[in-house]
Structure 1
Amino acid sequence: MSRRPWISGARDRLRAAPRYAVDAALAALVLFAVSLPWIFPEHGGDRLSWQGWLLGAATAVPLVWRRRAPFATAWAVSAATPAMAVLHAPPPHVMYGGFVALYTLAVLGRPWQRRLMLAGWLCGVAVTMTHKQEPQPYEYAFQLLSVAAAYGFGILARVQRAYTAELEDRARRLERERAADAERARAQERARIARDMHDILAHAVSLMVVQAEAGPVVVRSDPARAEAAFDAIAASGRDAMTQLRRILGVLKEQPGAAVFPQPGLAALPELVRRVGASAGLRTELRTTGTPRPLPPDTEIAAFRVAQEALTNTVKHAYASRAEVELGWTEEMLTLTVTDDGRGPAGTPGGHGLIGVRERAAACGGTAEAGRAPGGGFRVVVRLPLSADRQAAVG
């Protein structure tokens, strides 16, 4: 266990070192190895000549460029190694430079280069051994197996590098995908918060404007009604502040802070009543079918859609009556808000109605807004229940 960090650290430092420095050191090591017969001649064997030493150096020096030009390096080493045997230099007992060159070509070379060089070395070893004085049978097997082993280790290193590169590329792709997913999630959350704040502020400010305009008119003739108008302004402001604090509390994510749930369909009757009382509208909430459980975000979306539609009625419709209808089926909740006013001025494409469509689409539903058949303005939103929602969103 204690050796692994040391080996891993040494390997990392070796990989971080300059390539030419590493290859030059490797070439010097090979040159020292091929010079050993010169330094320590064998008794009774062929003495290494100076021509043989130069040819041995020719098998080591090209290794400096082994990674920049692996095929050319392999050719240079392949030419110098059998030349020692032909000239009776004599040939080395171990072909150090050849093994390094063949390993490098197996790692970095093209397929045809690798195969050509492997076949050439196998044939060259067999021919070279015939020029050696009194070669032993085991020497043939040793040299041939050594060549095959060097090539095999190179192929294994090549496969490992390709596998590592694929893993690193996959990790980079996953990281980019995670970053993109996180950015999309942040964008969706910002859009949701913007819609919530728009709905809260637009609704509260609209009611406050209506009451503020009515207050001065009745302040002398009907003080009680004027007082009720000012109370409605204060209540709308307090309600808006409460809901905004909820949203900001979620954004801050303070540990230990209380997180209040956003309003759902249970708060819809109070919303309809408050809008009618504050804006002087005759409001009505009707329910058809059997209510069913909704996902939390779908329930919030239904409440916000009704709130936005009633806000538009107060701001733009000049209506005297507004009706909210919840139509339940086994697959769908249909929310319809109808008034007898004229609807928003111009094309129905303001930010409020865009938010209505976005909320419906986020829940896998649809939204329509336009003139009602019998006059007035109508907003219809269809929100699927959980099973259909998965199919719609997926």
Structure 2
Amino acid sequence: MVLKIGVNELAVGMYVVDTGLSWMEHPYLFSRQGPIDSEKSLQALKREGYTEAFIDTRQSGLDDDAARRLSGGALFTEAFTERATPAATSRRAVPMAQELPAARKVYEDALAFARDFIHKAYLEKTVDIERSEAFVSDVISSVARNREALTGLCKLRFYDEYSYTHSINVTVLATAFGQFLGLPEDELHPLGLAALFHDIGKANIPREVLNKPGRLDDREFQVIKRHPLESYVILKGMGALASKVLSAIVEHHEKYDGSGYPRGIGGEEVSMFARIISLADVYDALTSERVYKKGMPPSQALGVMYGMREKDFHPTMVERFIKCLGIYPVGSFVRLSDSRHGLVWALNAQAPLSPTVKAAFDDAMRPIPAEYVDLAACGEASAGPPLSIAEAVDPRRFNIDMAAVMN
């Protein structure tokens, strides 16, 4: 489990997590992956002015009681164990297995569209509004049938082309979250368009800055910070988008505490669409593989985002986002308490820690006949300790083909 603590609470032996968050946007966050190996290195990072860090409690040797003492309250997983209200219950007009082929076609068609969409944006500084609206309509239709199918595909890493998949994933995640919040379809369409176009202004940013693998210097960061307004310039000139779409695009890097850009607004001043897109944007960035960093497992990324509430994110919004995706989002690879391993297949809004898991590997990571395990039903039927998720596991450690497991 990931836990945010102050650097004064860090101790030798604790394991720090590299979040991959921008140093320029989070200058006080110590994010150098690995254990604190000595008192000398601990004092050095304090002298450098860092005030916060995210640690992996398991790799730090902390049990739940010790983690609770550090957090000063409930742990991330415990904060979401209450039964969901009817409004928060996952809607599934069709089962996961039935929607999955249709969702995969939507995603693969979207990838082909995104290649053309991004090339046209970079070369011609324009976008195809009609094709974009058709794509957003397909996404809305899929999430209306079963939002877990399409959001699950976003994180299975069928593709490694971040520049293409990011705009698709943010659109899917934002639309799914909007549906979870109860937005009507005539609001989901502009939300989806704003999510799709949110980074279009990067077409006006020099490629050497945009694709720099290392840390940006201050001058380069100032250049990057122009992209929301550059997006506005490109899209405003086309004259075909609603003002709420343009506002969301301009504001998607604003933060709850007012420390974002370009205007430095915060709280309720930031539009609802922008708050939704910001969450989808950061989640996809945290969980995506890049040249310079590994992607985080989905549950770990949500733990980081929970730690960013009241600073980067509106606290209620980030909590609802986590409820939408689940503590262990669909597509997460997990180890069960009986040592089997598998993929989270479907959420259980009434029991967030007890989704349905497609168990497909034994304790030694050998393939076994797949079994769909409803952890909530197991708990109700069990006379002994209920079957549960022991931990989220990074499938890359075992070279697991997650696409094959999903199929």
With normalisation by structure 2, the TM-score equals 0.21
Structure 1 or 2: more helix by fraction = 1
Which structure is higher in RCO with an 8 Å CA cutoff and minimum separation 6?
A: 2
Which of the pair has more CA radius of gyration?
1
With normalisation by structure 1, the TM-score equals 0.21
